[in-house]
């Protein structure tokens, strides 16, 4: 039997058996190559497996030449596509669950689901993965690499899936709908979170303290409280964080990015939560009232405020034992022990422990006083200075001495006064 000579295709891409279905043609369109000789033993074309055959419609300029296990579809432009046509093609089946794969490498990766094997380990945080591609994606968290850029707003992401999710914020596409209330979401994970809020389901439980969570990522972040792990490092100042979201927010301090803008006054913020807090100043929304002094706050601020009345200071410095009402104040204080002042003024070179202190200082160079008193029009560099000043108009004295009942409008004056009662004299004469 003669065989038509066949040169290898220009480019190949493997397809599945479904490709063959799309190539099905009527019986009168199927032809044996004219270079092949019939033999008496030849069966119908459906039974021929190891012979090259010609399928197609010559007038359309499309034909297929094939043999057992491999075939090529080629048009007159020379474009080639490889397909499988063998009826006895070998598949790789998982012995545990019976799932089949067309490549042995895919079966090996799948079997790690059953064995728990994670051979690819991150050298930075020791997290391990089943596939090398998962490790490469993960390492972008540590390197800060974000190769996927949004063509609309320029924001970058370390995974293509994150870019796809982000792009829905521009298109307002929300393909995931809650069957209970009809609310739509642009991510499936957000729909799952929403449904668990409705049902109260919290399937992820911390083995240390038994606190439970509705999503696995929240449990992972929580567990770092117990371990002290901070795997995310800022490439500029090397400060470390337990959550990647905290690192992203922190990096905006260095870049100056403030993506959350108030539609009422145009003021911008680095965090969406800060924008929400700010917007309440326009709406006058302070729904939670302090039972001790009658002041109103949002819920999280009320909890912190009440510590003024109770004297509670739950955040303790491990270096000197000093305690604080807020965790953020403790973190600022800890920089004293480390002599850390990462925020430097570009005008005069002066450095500060806190970014907000740098912002206030920079206004001394620009004479920018954005906080204006509504009563007298006087301007201030910091909102805290404006609050102190406004007490001269209102007569408010929120700091009351528990020993003698005397009140003060300024916290620093109150602290000085308390030293009278304890007979504290911290300043010694050197002469």
For the chain, report the end-to-end CA distance as a whole number of angstroms. Answer: 117
What's the pLDDT at 61?
Answer: 41
Is residue 33 within 8 A of residue 52, CB to CB? The reply is yes
Q: Which residue has the higher pLDDT, 23 or 386?
A: 386
CA atoms lying within 13 Å on the CB side of residue 263: 2
Helical H segments across 258-326, by residue range? 272-283, 299-310
Residues 6+ apart with CB under 8 A from 330: 315, 316, 317, 324
What's the pLDDT at 271?
Answer: 84
Residue 176's H or E segment, with its range, is strand 176-177
Q: Which residue has the higher pLDDT, 204 or 38?
A: 204
What's the pLDDT at 390?
Answer: 85
- Alpha carbon of residue 235 to chain centroid: 17
From CA 129, how far away is CA 407, in angstroms rounded? 61
| Position 50 in a domain | no
Lowest mean pLDDT among 40-44, 152-156, 342-346, 381-385: 40-44
Residues across the chain: 431
pLDDT band with cut points at 50, 70 and 90 for residue 22: very low
Q: Summarize pLDDT for 158-196 with one digit per residue, the tens.
A: 888 888 878 877 877 788 888 888 888 877 888 888 888
Q: Summarize pLDDT for 245-280 with one digit per residue, the tens.
A: 888 888 888 888 888 888 888 888 888 888 887 877
pLDDT band with cut points at 50, 70 and 90 for residue 31: very low
Whether pTM > 0.75 for this model: the answer is no
| Position 29 in a domain | no
pLDDT band with cut points at 50, 70 and 90 for residue 319: confident
The domain in which residue 424 lies consists of 401-431
Q: Compute the average pLDDT of residues 24-36.
A: 37
Residues 6+ apart with CB under 8 A from 208: 223, 226
Token code pair at residue 94:
């998982």
| Position 431 in a domain | yes
pLDDT band with cut points at 50, 70 and 90 for residue 426: low
Is residue 153 within 8 A of residue 170, CB to CB? The reply is yes
| Position 1 in a domain | no
3-state secondary structure string across 98-140: CCEECCHHHHHHHHHHHHCCCCEECCCCCCEECCHHHHHHHHH
| Position 195 in a domain | no
Helix (H, G, I), strand (E, B) or coil at 54: strand
The domain total for the chain is 1
| Position 67 in a domain | no
The position carrying tokens 């369109």 is 29
What's the pLDDT at 408?
Answer: 85
Q: Which residue has the higher pLDDT, 419 or 59?
A: 419
From CA 273, how far away is CA 299, in angstroms rounded? 13
What's the pLDDT at 423?
Answer: 64
Does residue 54 carry a pLDDT above 70? no
What's the pLDDT at 427?
Answer: 62
pLDDT band with cut points at 50, 70 and 90 for residue 336: confident
| Position 423 in a domain | yes
Is residue 211 within 8 A of residue 122, CB to CB? The reply is no
């Amino acid at each position: 039997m003669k065989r038509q000579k066949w040169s290898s295709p220009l480019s190949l891409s493997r397809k599945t058996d479904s490709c063959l279905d799309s190539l099905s043609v009527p019986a009168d369109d199927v032809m044996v190559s004219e270079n092949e000789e019939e033999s008496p033993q030849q069966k119908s074309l459906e039974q021929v497996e190891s012979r090259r055959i010609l399928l197609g419609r010559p007038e359309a300029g499309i034909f297929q030449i094939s043999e057992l296990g491999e075939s090529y579809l080629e048009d007159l432009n020379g474009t080639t596509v490889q397909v499988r046509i063998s009826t006895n093609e070998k598949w790789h089946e998982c012995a545990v669950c019976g799932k089949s794969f067309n490549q042995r490498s895919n079966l090996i990766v799948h079997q790690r689901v059953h064995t728990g094997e994670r051979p690819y380990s991150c050298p930075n945080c020791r997290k391990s993965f089943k596939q090398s591609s998962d490790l490469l994606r993960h390492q972008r968290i540590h390197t800060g690499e974000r190769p996927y850029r949004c063509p609309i707003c320029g924001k970058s992401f370390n995974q293509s899936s994150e870019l796809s999710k982000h792009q829905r914020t521009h298109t307002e596409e929300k393909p995931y709908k809650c069957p209970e209330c009809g609310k739509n979401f642009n991510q499936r994970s957000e729909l799952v979170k929403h449904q668990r809020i409705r049902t109260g389901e919290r399937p992820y439980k911390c083995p240390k303290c038994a606190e439970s969570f509705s999503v696995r990522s929240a449990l992972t972040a929580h567990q770092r409280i117990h371990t002290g792990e901070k795997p995310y490092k800022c490439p500029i100042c090397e400060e470390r964080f337990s959550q990647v979201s905290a690192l992203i927010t922190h990096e905006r301090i260095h870049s100056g990015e403030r993506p959350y803008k108030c539609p009422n006054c145009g003021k911008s913020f680095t965090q969406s939560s800060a924008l929400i807090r700010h917007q309440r100043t326009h709406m006058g929304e302070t729904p939670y009232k302090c039972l001790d002094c009658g002041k109103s706050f949002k819920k999280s601020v009320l909890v912190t405020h009440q510590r003024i009345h109770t004297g509670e200071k739950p955040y303790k410095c491990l270096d000197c034992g000093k305690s604080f009402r807020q965790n953020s104040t403790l973190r600022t204080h800890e920089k004293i022990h480390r002599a850390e002042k990462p925020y430097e003024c570009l005008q005069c070179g002066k450095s500060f422990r806190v970014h907000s202190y740098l912002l206030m200082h920079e206004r001394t160079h620009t004479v920018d006083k954005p906080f204006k008193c509504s009563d007298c029009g006087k301007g201030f560099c910091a909102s805290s200075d404006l609050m102190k000043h406004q007490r001269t108009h209102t007569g408010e004295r929120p700091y009351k001495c528990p020993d003698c009942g005397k009140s003060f409008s300024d916290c620093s004056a109150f602290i000085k006064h308390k030293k009278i009662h304890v007979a504290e004299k911290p300043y010694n004469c050197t002469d």
